[in-house]
Amino acid sequence: MKFLIVGYGSIGRRHMRNLLALGEKDILLFRTRQSTLAEDELQGFVVETDLSKALAHRPDAVIIGNPTANHIEAALPAAKQGCHILIEKPVSHRLEDALEFKQVVEQSGTRVLVGFQFRFHPGLLKIKEILASGEVGRPIDVRAHWGEYLPDWHPWEDYRKSYSARADLGGGAALTLSHPLDFLRWLLGDAQVLWSSGKKVSDLEIEVEDLAEFQLKFSGGAYGSVHLDYFQQPASLNLEMICSGGSIRWDNADGTTRVYSAQDKQWQVYPPPEGFERNTLFMDEMRHFIQVVRGEVKPVCTLDDGIESMRLALTATLVKE
């Protein structure tokens, strides 16, 4: 198969390395050369700076890894051409653009995987399994928290110029850190926003919200809250779920899921497999995408999933007072 990678920031480079590690070598890139990454790894690969010329190579699959605000302008022509697409989250920063993309996808038959890689986390997969078994009863209340200091994300670049910090590129904590909105929908069902807020509260020199809060009601009956921020040190990503027959806790720091049974009065601990590390999520996601392109499986995170998580996130994007 031939793969076209759109954008060569940190995620574009990661996807390229993972494709190579999986034995895929027919790779080309489209880039605008705005990335601050070194280009030494691109030696020997075709690099186009015009999207139409890149698509003229007739790739089977396109990986959209450019800034959020530019996702759809690359995804639309790729879908019209019939390429299968891995699009990084969020799908877009504008709902109308995402819905236009959906229309084209439905007409072309393009298969789309949205890049919410936490759906491949063994700890969250264990939670999904436990909820399905009913061993701790029904979920009643859930709290998800993600705080991470923005200047630490890409130390090689000025955080103030990154897409995450710029409104014109679709940045902001609500969209950029929207993973919990997706994996909670995946675990608990569709979500209704009861209340949300996006604010700029820290001393970071950015023009978007660095704090987003959500209060949600899920179709399965549970209630929940989500906290997202750009300023917490050290970083913290965790989940706590109170159920009718116990509790579930997951911490991304060590990847472990802990389950308390009210009946047995004890905790069960489920660490991730030996050798698990952050890139394992992206490798598993890429393996899955290759299967999607081949038509062997359906996407575990569909375009509809991506649009719904994006819709939730947009309720808390910054409103200037």
Rounded to two decimals, the pTM is: 0.96
Over the stretch 12-45, which tens digit does the pLDDT of each residue have? 999 999 999 999 999 999 998 766 667 788 988 9
Q: Which residue has the tokens 């759109």?
A: 6
CA dist., res. 56 & res. 111, Å (int): 19
- Name the band, by pLDDT with cuts 50, 70 and 90, for residue 320: very low
Q: Say which CATH number the domain at 155 has.
A: 3.30.360.10
Domain boundary, last residue among 63, 96, 117: 117
Residue 293: inside a domain: no
**Based on the domain organization, do 24 and 66 belong to the same domain?**
yes
Residue 111: inside a domain: yes
**Based on the domain organization, do 150 and 222 belong to the same domain?**
yes
Over the stretch 180-206, which tens digit does the pLDDT of each residue have? 999 999 999 999 999 999 999 999 999
CA dist., res. 89 & res. 63, Å (int): 12
**Based on the domain organization, do 96 and 61 belong to the same domain?**
yes
Strands of the sheet containing 223-229, edge to edge, are 191-199, 211-218, 223-229, 139-147, 236-243, 246-251, 256-261, 266-270
Domain boundary, last residue among 117, 140, 167: 117
Residue 93: inside a domain: yes
| Percent of the chain's residues with pLDDT above 70 | 98
Task: Reduce the DSSP state of residue 247 to 3 states and report it.
Answer: strand
* Domain that residue 29 falls in: 3-117
Residue 217: inside a domain: yes
| C-alpha gyration radius of the chain | 20
CA dist., res. 187 & res. 125, Å (int): 9
